[in-house]
């Protein structure tokens, strides 16, 4: 806007005020949308997290991961670390915690089963629980 020697005119001031008012309405509208959505998401019934529950969540997440990334076409077998499932949002970290201090880790093993179907096995390790046949070396750890 160019200023003349008399300053702003009434019409220019009303236009600027209207633009600011419209921007303010949009900002307020957007700000009120976020808490409403967050409240709807957080109204999930708490689930009792047990090792069996964690294993089932890992199996389900691994099946979706293989379906989306590999189109259910793998050669022999595939090891998917839980960290990948969490990183790509197939699994939530809250479903891996047996309590506040015990966060489970592990992997899923996907291999061909009978009739060329895919079988998914979950192997987890927590502070007080370890799936039978869990192998640390599968994740590159030295025991």
4-14: per-residue pLDDT in tens?
A: 666 777 788 88
Mean pLDDT on 103-131: 87
Angle (nearest 5°) at CA 77 between 74 and 82? 100
Q: Is residue 2 part of a domain?
A: no
Mean pLDDT on 121-134: 89
Q: Mark whether 80 and 63 lie in a shared domain.
A: yes
Q: Is residue 96 part of a domain?
A: yes
CA distances from 71 to 24, 65, 130 (A): 47, 9, 30
Instruction: Give the containing element (helix H, strand E) for 106.
Output: strand 105-112
The predicted-structure confidence for 27-82, as pLDDT tens digits, reads as follows 888 877 765 444 444 444 456 778 888 899 999 999 999 888 888 788 888 899 99
Q: Is residue 61 part of a domain?
A: yes
Q: Is residue 19 part of a domain?
A: yes
Q: Mark whether 56 and 124 lie in a shared domain.
A: yes
Residue recorded with tokens 């008399």: 6
List the domain range (segments joined by +) for residue 97.
51-139
Q: Mark whether 73 and 107 lie in a shared domain.
A: yes
Q: Mark whether 61 and 131 lie in a shared domain.
A: yes
Mean pLDDT on 18-26: 92
Q: Mark whether 72 and 117 lie in a shared domain.
A: yes
Q: Mark whether 108 and 129 lie in a shared domain.
A: yes
Q: Mark whether 38 and 63 lie in a shared domain.
A: no
Domains identified in the chain, total number: 2
What does the DSSP 8-state code read for residue 103? Answer: B
Q: Mark whether 68 and 35 lie in a shared domain.
A: no
């Amino acid at each position: 806007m160019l200023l003349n020697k008399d300053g702003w005119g009434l019409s220019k001031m009303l236009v600027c005020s209207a633009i600011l008012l419209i921007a303010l309405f949009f900002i307020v509208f957007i700000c009120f949308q976020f808490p409403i959505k967050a409240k709807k998401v957080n109204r999930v019934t708490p689930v009792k997290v047990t090792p069996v529950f964690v294993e089932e969540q890992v199996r389900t997440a691994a099946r979706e991961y293989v379906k989306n990334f590999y189109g259910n076409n793998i050669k022999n077998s595939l090891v998917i670390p839980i960290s990948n499932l969490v990183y790509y949002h197939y699994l939530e970290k809250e479903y891996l915690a047996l309590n506040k201090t015990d966060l489970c880790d592990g992997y899923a093993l996907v291999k061909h089963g009978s009739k060329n179907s895919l079988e998914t096995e979950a192997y987890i390790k927590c502070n007080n629980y370890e799936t039978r046949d869990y192998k640390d070396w599968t994740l590159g750890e030295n025991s």
